[in-house]
Chain A
């Protein structure tokens, strides 16, 4: 189910459809660096925003703005309805129950929320009243193990390192092969009876690799470990159904999927969310507050302390609707043909080496590469001079780069609005790189 070949592929966009779609993103028609048309190939870092999403946010502020879940005036009711309606839309988009969707400020906070549940569960009384079998899943200490992978973004790596440090548990990881896939041969030796949680990425933000979620979940379930999926690079690009995936938690960000900055999503199985102690505390997340102690609201409110980001939630729901209208199968297909075109173009340049799967199987539209003898910052600078925006650096996956024997890479990443002409623009600009630096005569 996690494999591209199992995803309904649909058809890439026609030229007319593509032009219409690009018309929704005003920024795509601007110029950069002295009048050059912007070629935006950095959607893996953050996507651009369609007019429909911006209008939804604006309409919230202009017509319904009030503090959600507070007050009894009409605007407060409308704002609350808008916020909770947005939750329902986002839930539908990922095949979830509405009450299982928690809004966070970003995916990083969502992952930290889960990681802190384990250490917070160790506090006196934190799990009182919770089914002992469920409470035991969150009990973490010496002798227990946390499993991640070597291809994680720092946001799904550092929180688990820190959790290990706080609890005395041991951090272990699944390695990466030379061709940029998880070393599943390690699976049974890394995930064992000592494993309490397995946190891994659905799609690598560097390699583009789509990981076999079902295989990892099967092993984790066999040993009774919880599973946490970083879906930041999958939800914007592939049809994702959280129930089909079989994991326990899924985290993703809004801004990479045409939504606004400042909002992320944690999805979790409701029985688990219900058992979990809060992460951030304060207003909104309470049931009864006395000077001596406080009881907590049920999920999702338990995890949404403070006045929530209602406008961003409304914007994110509009982004989900936008993607639904495009059709996720067609979004996937469009990015897939562009990825194939880019991989084919790079393959014709012997001075370029792609880091990650070279074929299109189980691969998403993040394509990282190195140019012989030239630092990625210099590659990115030459591309930028031609108006081509890519990401350079370690893409917040430093251990992965170290594993691949690299300091940094250049990454092009696609979204639904990209075109073949933009792939050509990238390749043309790339051909200037060895000329400028004199590495090819």
Chain B
């Protein structure tokens, strides 16, 4: 099976940037009600608005290898990058994960995230890979990043470099949530 790539196993065994750290602008707690997995995630920004830089993402995660590794990759990808770039990575990751195997992912956009391409063939596991990302985007909102404003800017006639942000309109849990497996 092509699900458990070596990169995923490595991240899940030794997750990067793990642990909760100070200082932070926002902290969120997200749960996957299917399996009870949880993540507490903190975001620290430096600067304001779209060009703010993600100074730190720290987290405490309880979950399967896919969710643990995905959160590790997320932290490694976004720390030191702008909010704009992070949201672009999220959009690329979400697009790949919900492609049912059609989108192999762009390494330039999501780095080690391409290792998760196989997850998109297992709809029940997409939620695992997105748990950390959903927490992260929620934390950005809590930290005062107006995602709606950013996404609305794509219609701005100014020609501002907002194309990479277009996909942030999809930061809507109902759109990124894969099928669930309750009983």
Partner-B contacts on A (CB < 8 A) = 45, 374-378, 381-382, 385, 391-396, 398, 401, 407-408, 436-438
Interface string of B54-97 (1 = CB under 8 A from A): 00000000111110000000000000000000000000000000
Q: Which of B9, B125, B181 contacts A393 (CB 8 A)?
A: B181
Does B36 lie within 8 Å of A398, measured CB to CB? yes
Does B35 lie within 8 Å of A408, measured CB to CB? yes
A377: chain B residues at CB < 8 Å are 35, 37, 64, 66, 125, 128
Does A375 lie within 8 Å of B65, measured CB to CB? yes
Q: A441 to nearest B CB, angstroms?
A: 14
Q: Given that A393-B36, A407-B37 are contacting pairs, would A45 and B63 also be in contact in the complex, using a CB cutoff of 8 Å?
A: no
How distant is the Cα of A381 from the Cα of B2 in the complex, in angstroms?
Answer: 11
A408: chain B residues at CB < 8 Å are 35-37
Does B3 lie within 8 Å of A381, measured CB to CB? yes
Q: Which of B62, B64, B181 contacts A378 (CB 8 A)?
A: B64
Give 9 new A-B contacts, CB below 8 A, not counting A375-B64, A393-B36: A375-B37, A376-B35, A377-B125, A378-B4, A396-B182, A396-B183, A407-B37, A408-B35, A438-B9
Does B66 lie within 8 Å of A378, measured CB to CB? yes
- The interface size of chain B toward A, counting residues with CB under 8 Å, comes to 21
How distant is the Cα of A362 from the Cα of B62 in the complex, in angstroms?
Answer: 33
Q: Which of A385, A395, A401, A438 contacts B183 (CB 8 A)?
A: A395
Does B65 lie within 8 Å of A378, measured CB to CB? yes
How distant is the Cα of A401 from the Cα of B36 in the complex, in angstroms?
Answer: 10
How distant is the Cα of A260 from the Cα of B45 in the complex, in angstroms?
Answer: 54
Q: B180 to nearest A CB, angstroms?
A: 10
Main secondary structure of the interface of A (DSSP, over half): mixed
Q: Given that A377-B35, A377-B128, A381-B122 are contacting pairs, would A438 and B181 also be in contact in the complex, using a CB cutoff of 8 Å?
A: no
Q: A226 to nearest B CB, angstroms?
A: 27
Interface string of B154-183 (1 = CB under 8 A from A): 000000000000000000000000000111
Q: Is B34 an interface residue (CB 8 A)?
A: yes
How distant is the Cα of A309 from the Cα of B58 in the complex, in angstroms?
Answer: 52
- By beta carbon, the residue of chain A nearest B182 is A396
Sample of 16 A–B contacts (CB below 8 Å)? A375-B37, A375-B63, A375-B65, A376-B64, A377-B35, A377-B37, A377-B66, A378-B4, A381-B125, A382-B1, A385-B1, A393-B181, A394-B35, A395-B183, A407-B36, A407-B37
How distant is the Cα of A155 from the Cα of B1 in the complex, in angstroms?
Answer: 35
A407: chain B residues at CB < 8 Å are 35-38, 62
How distant is the Cα of A392 from the Cα of B125 in the complex, in angstroms?
Answer: 12
- By beta carbon, the residue of chain B nearest A153 is B183
B35: chain A residues at CB < 8 Å are 376-377, 392-394, 407-408
- By beta carbon, the residue of chain B nearest A408 is B35
Q: B183 to nearest A CB, angstroms?
A: 5
Q: B96 to nearest A CB, angstroms?
A: 19
Q: B109 to nearest A CB, angstroms?
A: 26
Q: A428 to nearest B CB, angstroms?
A: 16
How distant is the Cα of A115 from the Cα of B122 in the complex, in angstroms?
Answer: 38
Q: Which of A375, A376, A437 contacts B9 (CB 8 A)?
A: A437
How distant is the Cα of A73 from the Cα of B157 in the complex, in angstroms?
Answer: 68
Q: A383 to nearest B CB, angstroms?
A: 11
How distant is the Cα of A382 from the Cα of B181 in the complex, in angstroms?
Answer: 17
8 nearest interchain CB pairs? Answer: A375-B64, A377-B64, A393-B35, A407-B36, A385-B1, A394-B36, A408-B35, A378-B65
How distant is the Cα of A394 from the Cα of B37 in the complex, in angstroms?
Answer: 10
- By beta carbon, the residue of chain A nearest B3 is A381
Residue of B13, B35, B37, B128 with most chain A CB atoms under a 10 A cut-off: B35
How distant is the Cα of A437 from the Cα of B12 in the complex, in angstroms?
Answer: 10
- By beta carbon, the residue of chain A nearest B37 is A407
B182: chain A residues at CB < 8 Å are 396
